[in-house]
């Protein structure tokens, strides 16, 4: 039984294919179109999934869209009615689009499918599960648990903004929902907007900024108090109530009522390229603390309702690695599994799984030792011919290794010498994190590496931290953590023995001085608060990446390297060898490895590029 799942028309469109419950392929549309967070119908992602699965649209047993558009339209109309006469501008903008396109989504989907070969005379069943059910399915069904609590938290689906479910066998039961306009995801996005970052893509920047706040500053406590007194009421079960007098997302064209927020927090709305000051950092820390409090309370309620030992987590807020780490440390559950594509892209996979297990009532087979996501390496791959054709196209010089062992030894030395390496191997990752298939790598011991990667490679804000990829069995040597984190979705502290003592006046340093102060023997992956967003690398899911880190350990004594996504600011993660070479040549990256091919920047012909990447990719 083959089922195709689709998410589209909001942000991060994607497609996923399952075959008798096995996840065969999954990818975001942005990786093909090179438009970050592309919301359009995922024609390219669908074609990839079908090709990889050896099937056609009309051979499928079902095509499943990740939410219910008519229910969402009901929420839209009811919201405008409730807030009237406010929101008339937004109403005039949004409703014609809904009537023209999204009201008749079934017809639109069929039309888009016809463009890529669908024969409507031989129709395939088209299904529409609810948004949060798709999220819940994406987390529970691939998990290694027979029974688990499921917590989904995002901005908003149709009506639900968070849900608590119980999963057992092939069944999911929805137990409790938080409903629009009260939303933890939208609250966090409101602060993302107010602090000058882009909503639906800049939330992770806010998470990275928060640790630069001064944890002992009375200003942080004051901001937390203001948030709880004026913006949000937090109840013991984790449900929240947002005072809509301060927000504009329900019917307006902005996230917040700026004048009211500026009065409330005593600062101007930050513009995207404005300098970051101490009060911005402190406000970021305040909303991060509030978020963590709500997530833990929701998890405690999920535990109370289900009695389960295990938790599955999905939805955009599940990408907040810091709150995930706090939740895991809280001990509410024995183990937590987080869907690596936790946002809307993962909804495509969840939709397909919902149809297979709930609609078709298929039996679930569980691997109790590991999850079913295959390391999240579910995207397109490439051949040696693809690499050589790119080399011919750009007259690129390369060295090919017949023996992969020799390649990893040479790349280990290149990294140890302080170079930055683009690393492209096998199938592309599904989800927002680069996990050693489409990554940029560096030496974590190098005190200049964070600055070099941010300023000369990624061309982004200097405060942004980088993640460590560590051999799974060695994680406890470097971090205060002894579990697994294969999807880079948990933040935990660097081990005390590896830290360097901070001066007494450290909290009074400005952001730049804090950023470049040497904090541990792994300076380029140790964040300002001694934390790190950990990826444990496992031999069974990514043997090539594992071998590289192992060889780096033999050479340096450190079984850990710096890993960041292979892209520049505003660009989707690279997919093909062509994408990789272009990004390599447009930046100050030193080396590129694609499969068994090594490219040295010094040996490449001068890059002739009429397009500026800053013009090609909209800065996020």
List pLDDT tens digits, range 541-556: 999 999 999 999 999 9
DSSP run (H or E) holding 79: helix 69-83
d(C-alpha 162, C-alpha 156), whole Å = 8
- pLDDT greater at residue 200 or residue 527: 527
Q: How many CA atoms lie within 13 A of 334 on its CB side?
A: 8
Task: Count CB neighbours of 392 within 10 A.
Answer: 9
Which region among 82-86, 267-271, 337-341, 382-386 has the lowest average model confidence (pLDDT)?
Answer: 82-86
494-503: per-residue pLDDT in tens? 999 999 988 8
pLDDT of residue 176: 97
What average pLDDT does this structure show over 328-351? Answer: 97
Contact 27, 48 (CB under 8 A): yes
pLDDT of residue 250: 81
What average pLDDT does this structure show over 295-307? Answer: 98
- Residues of the chain within CATH 3.30.420.40 domain(s) are 1-142+342-372, 143-338
pLDDT of residue 254: 85
Contact 26, 14 (CB under 8 A): yes
Quote the strand ranges of 425-504, DSSP E: 438-442, 467-471, 490-493
d(C-alpha 176, C-alpha 163), whole Å = 6
Residue 468 phi, psi dihedral angles, 5° rounding: -95, 135
With both helix axes pointing from N to C terminus, report the angle between 258-265 and 184-194 in degrees, rounded to the nearest 10.
80
Q: How many CA atoms lie within 13 A of 4 on its CB side?
A: 30
d(C-alpha 160, C-alpha 145), whole Å = 25
d(C-alpha 351, C-alpha 357), whole Å = 10
DSSP run (H or E) holding 407: helix 404-416
Helix runs in 373-510, H state only: 384-394, 404-416, 449-452, 475-478
130-140: per-residue pLDDT in tens? 999 999 999 99
What average pLDDT does this structure show over 190-213? Answer: 92
Query: CB-based contacts of 155: which residues, under 8 Å, 6+ apart?
Result: 161, 183, 185, 186, 189, 200, 316
Does residue 462 carry a pLDDT above 80? no
Quote the strand ranges of 443-488, DSSP E: 467-471
C-alpha distances out from residue 585 to 36, 89, 430, Å: 20, 45, 25
pLDDT of residue 517: 82
pLDDT of residue 201: 81
Pairing relationship of beta strands 160-168 and 2-7 according to DSSP bridges: unpaired
Q: What percentage of the chain exceeds 70 in pLDDT?
A: 93
Contact 71, 179 (CB under 8 A): no
Does residue 93 carry a pLDDT above 70? no
d(C-alpha 265, C-alpha 242), whole Å = 17
pLDDT of residue 273: 82
C-alpha distances out from residue 604 to 204, 259, 393, 408, 590, Å: 35, 53, 12, 21, 11
Contact 127, 358 (CB under 8 A): no
Among candidates 121, 125, 75, which has minimal Cα distance to 98? 75
Alpha-carbon torsion 28, 29, 34, 36, what sign?
negative
What average pLDDT does this structure show over 163-181? Answer: 97
Cis? peptide before 371, omega within 30° of 0: no
Task: Count CB neighbours of 94 within 10 A.
Answer: 16
| Predicted confidence band of residue 318 (pLDDT cuts 50, 70, 90) | very high
Does residue 101 carry a pLDDT above 70? no
pLDDT of residue 80: 59
Does residue 97 carry a pLDDT above 70? no
Is the CATH number 3.40.1160.10 carried by domain 384-616? no
Contact 313, 342 (CB under 8 A): yes
d(C-alpha 348, C-alpha 343), whole Å = 10
563-612: per-residue pLDDT in tens? 999 999 889 999 999 999 999 999 999 999 999 999 999 999 999 876 66
| Predicted confidence band of residue 511 (pLDDT cuts 50, 70, 90) | confident
d(C-alpha 353, C-alpha 75), whole Å = 26
Residue 67 phi, psi dihedral angles, 5° rounding: -150, 180
Contact 154, 199 (CB under 8 A): no
383-433: per-residue pLDDT in tens? 999 999 999 999 999 999 999 999 999 999 999 999 999 999 999 999 999
What average pLDDT does this structure show over 273-282? Answer: 92
What average pLDDT does this structure show over 149-166? Answer: 95
DSSP run (H or E) holding 77: helix 69-83
pLDDT of residue 90: 65
Residue 178 phi, psi dihedral angles, 5° rounding: -100, 140
Token pair of 564 as six digits:
């960041």
What average pLDDT does this structure show over 153-166? Answer: 94
Does residue 76 carry a pLDDT above 90? no
First to last CA, the chain: 40
| Predicted confidence band of residue 94 (pLDDT cuts 50, 70, 90) | low
Token pair of 230 as six digits:
């004026």
Token pair of 518 as six digits:
């040497």
d(C-alpha 352, C-alpha 15), whole Å = 9
21-58: per-residue pLDDT in tens? 999 999 999 999 999 999 999 999 999 999 999 999 99
Helix runs in 495-606, H state only: 511-515, 543-556, 577-586
**Whole-number CA gyration radius for the chain:** 24
What average pLDDT does this structure show over 286-305? Answer: 98
What average pLDDT does this structure show over 487-516? Answer: 87
pLDDT of residue 272: 87
- Give domain 143-338's CATH number out of 3.30.420.40, 3.30.465.10, 3.40.1410.10, 3.60.15.10: 3.30.420.40
User: Helix or strand or coil: residue 22?
Assistant: strand
Q: How many helices (H) and strands (E) does the chain have?
A: 21, 21
Greatest Cα pair distance, the chain, in angstroms, is 74
Whose tokens are 């963590």? That residue is 292
Query: CB-based contacts of 594: which residues, under 8 Å, 6+ apart?
Result: 382, 387, 390, 424, 425, 577, 580, 581
Alpha-carbon torsion 198, 202, 208, 214, what sign?
positive
CATH for 1-142+342-372 is 3.30.420.40
What average pLDDT does this structure show over 255-273? Answer: 94
- Residues of the chain within CATH 3.90.870.20 domain(s) are 384-616
C-alpha distances out from residue 127 to 47, 83, 130, 201, 464, Å: 19, 32, 10, 29, 41
What average pLDDT does this structure show over 186-204? Answer: 93
Token pair of 245 as six digits:
């007098």
Strand partners, 597: 400, 594
pLDDT of residue 611: 63
């Amino acid at each position: 039984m083959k089922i195709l799942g689709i998410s589209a028309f909001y942000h991060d469109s994607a497609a996923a294919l399952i075959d008798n419950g096995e996840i065969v392929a999954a990818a975001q549309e942005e990786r093909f179109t090179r438009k970050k967070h592309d919301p359009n119908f995922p024609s390219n992602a669908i074609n990839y999934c079908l090709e990889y699965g050896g099937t056609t649209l009309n051979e499928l047993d079902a095509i499943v869209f990740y939410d219910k558009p008519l229910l969402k339209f009901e929420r839209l109309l009811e919201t405008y009615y409730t807030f009237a006469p406010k929101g008339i501008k937004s109403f005039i903008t949004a409703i014609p689009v809904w009537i023209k396109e999204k009201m008749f989504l079934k017809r639109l989907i069929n039309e888009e499918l016809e463009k890529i070969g669908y024969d409507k005379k031989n129709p395939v069943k088209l299904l529409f599960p609810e948004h949060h059910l798709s999220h819940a399915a994406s987390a529970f069904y691939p998990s290694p648990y027979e029974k688990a609590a499921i917590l989904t938290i995002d901005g908003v689906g149709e009506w639900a903004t968070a849900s608590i479910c119980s999963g057992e066998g092939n069944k999911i039961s929805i137990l409790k929902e938080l409903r629009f306009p009260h939303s933890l995801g939208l609250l966090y996005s409101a602060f993302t907007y107010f602090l000058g970052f882009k909503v639906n893509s800049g939330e992770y920047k806010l998470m990275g900024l928060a640790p630069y706040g001064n944890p002992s500053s009375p200003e942080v406590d004051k901001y937390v108090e203001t948030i709880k007194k004026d913006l949000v009421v937090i109840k013991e079960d984790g449900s929240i109530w947002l005072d809509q007098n301060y927000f504009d997302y329900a019917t307006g064209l902005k996230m917040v009522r700026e004048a009211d927020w500026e009065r409330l927090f005593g600062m101007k709305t930050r513009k995207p390229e404005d300098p970051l000051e101490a009060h911005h950092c402190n406000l970021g820390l305040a909303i991060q603390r509030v978020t963590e409090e709500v997530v833990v309370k929701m998890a405690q309620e999920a535990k109370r309702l289900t009695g389960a030992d295990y938790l599955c987590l999905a939805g955009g807020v599940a990408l907040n690695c810091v709150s995930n780490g706090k939740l895991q440390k809280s001990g509410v559950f024995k183990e937590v599994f987080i869907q690596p594509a936790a946002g809307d892209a993962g909804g495509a996979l969840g939709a397909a799984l919902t149809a297979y297990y709930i609609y078709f009532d298929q039996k679930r087979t569980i691997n109790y030792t590991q999850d079913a996501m295959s390391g999240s390496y579910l995207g397109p791959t490439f051949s040696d011919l693809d690499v050589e054709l790119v080399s011919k196209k750009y007259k690129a010089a390369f060295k090919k290794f017949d023996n992969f062992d020799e390649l990893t030894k040479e790349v280990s030395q290149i990294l140890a010498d302080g170079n930055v390496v683009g690393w492209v191997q096998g199938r592309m990752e599904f989800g927002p994190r680069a996990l050693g298939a489409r990554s940029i790598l560096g030496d974590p011991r190098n005190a200049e590496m964070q600055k070099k990667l941010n300023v000369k490679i990624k061309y982004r804000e200097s405060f942004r931290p980088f993640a460590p990829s560590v051999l799974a069995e060695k994680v406890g040597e470097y971090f205060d953590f002894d579990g697994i984190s294969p999807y880079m979705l948990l933040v935990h502290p660097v081990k005390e023995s590896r830290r360097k003592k901070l001066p007494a006046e450290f909290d009074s340093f400005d952001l730049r001085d804090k950023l470049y102060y040497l904090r541990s023997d792994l300076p380029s992956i140790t964040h300002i608060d001694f934390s790190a967003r950990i990826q444990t690398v496992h031999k069974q899911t990514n043997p090539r990446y594992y071998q590289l880190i192992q060889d780096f350990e033999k050479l340096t004594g450190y079984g850990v390297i710096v890993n960041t996504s292979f892209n520049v600011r505003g660009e989707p993660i690279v997919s093909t060898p062509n994408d990789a070479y272009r990004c390599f040549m447009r930046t100050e990256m030193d080396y590129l490895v694609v499969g068994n091919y090594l490219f040295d920047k010094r040996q490449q012909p001068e890059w002739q590029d009429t397009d500026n990447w800053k013009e090609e990719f909209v800065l996020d």
